[in-house]
Amino acid sequence: MKTLSLKNLAKTYFDPYAGSHVNAVHDVSLNVEQGEFVSVVGPSGCGKTTILNMIAGFIPYTGGEILLDGKPVREPGPERGVVFQSFALFPWKTVLDNVGFGPKMRGVPKAERDRIAREYLALAGLSHAAHRYPNELSGGMQQRVGVVRALANNPDVLLMDEPFASVDAQTRMTLQEELTRIWQERKPTVLFITHDVSEAVFLANRVVVLSKGRILDQVEVDLPRPRVWDDLVKDDKFKQLSARVLQMVRAA
């Protein structure tokens, strides 16, 4: 089992302009098991992005440790796929080449990585867009590409930082439903970060509530799958869970 585990993780930023230190993350301990979908929810500024960037290896941590499959992580690496809020697609590559980028970095030959990329594009209903450039796609389509680009690299864990925050509300619901469907098909390990309580509950097996750089509480979400919004908006259990998490976040 490839467990992602954070042990007493801490981050202190130094702000050179103010000349002072900011404790963004204090003593966060968390395990994400293989095949689990964990949402981290909390108000803006509570340290969500900082935690994700440390796991991704984009910034160093100042205390504790991060282990993946028992091995400490420090640098970015292909076993931790990242989906960015700003999509971060390569504008100079076609959709097909964006999705095939990870396999290319592993040295997979062109024909094989095109096959892989097409398979994942089909998974996201994007086969028709293979030869387009990112700037020719809508925001929703771009983020679908962002998600399958990370998945096509077969990471041990998928890290997502508010990936649907910059698309319109209708598209966001569709993307959320698609993500749960893809998760059910492939069972990737996901750490999903959001400030949106209902999004966190809708997607996850477990919701972690973060406040001022600390874990406040965790809530198991044992709602049946597949999950679709039309059903869940009427579901009492979903409403109860969401209300509970919302209360924690607001108290945070």
Partner 1 sequence: MEVTGSLKRRSPWLARSVSSLAGAAMFVAPLLALVAIWAVVVPLFDINPRVFPSVGSVGTAAMDSIRDGTLPAHVGASLLRVGLGTLIGIVTAVPLGIAMGVSPTVAAFLTPLFRFFSVLAGIAWIPIATLWFGYGFGAIVFVIFNAVFFVVAYNTLLGVKTIPHTLRNAASSLGAGRWALLTEVLLPGALPNIVTGIRTGLGFAWRGLIAAEMIATNVGLGYMLFVARDFYRTEVIVFGMIVIGVLWLLIDRLLLVPLERATIERWGMVRRA
Ligand X SMILES: Nc1ncnc2c1ncn2[C@@H]1O[C@H](COP(=O)(O)OP(=O)(O)O)[C@@H](O)[C@H]1O
What is the footprint of partner 1 within residues 16-55 (CB under 8 A)?
A: none
Q: Measured from the CB of residue 104, what is the shortest distance to ligand X in angstroms?
A: 31
Q: How far is the CB of 225 from partner 1 (least distance, A)?
A: 28
How far is CA 96 from its chain centroid?
A: 22
Dihedral (CA of 77, 82, 85, 89) sign? positive
The interface mask with Mg ion, positions 49-88, x = CB under 5 A, is x---------------------------------------
Structure tokens at 193: 């970060």
76 contacts partner 1 (rule: CB under 8 A):
yes
**96-120 burial, b if ≥16 CB within 10 A, otherwise e?**
bbbbbbbbbeeebeeeebbebbbeb
Return the range that interacts with ligand X (CB under 6 A); candidates 43-51, 94-102, 178-186, 197-205: 43-51
Please tell me whether residue 49 binds ligand X under the rule CB under 6 A. Answer: yes
Tokens encoding 98: 């964006």
| Residue window 165-194: x/- pattern of binding to partner 1, with contact defined by CB under 8 A | ------------------------------
By CB under 8 A, tell whether 57 contacts partner 1: yes
CA–CA distance, 167 with 129 (Å, rounded to integer)? 19
Of the candidate spans 102-110, 114-122, 227-235, 244-252, the one that interacts with partner 1 by CB under 8 A turns out to be: 102-110
CA distance 36 to 52: 16
Residue 140 Cβ vs Mg ion, minimum distance, rounded to whole Å: 20
Sign of CA dihedral 105, 110, 113, 117: positive
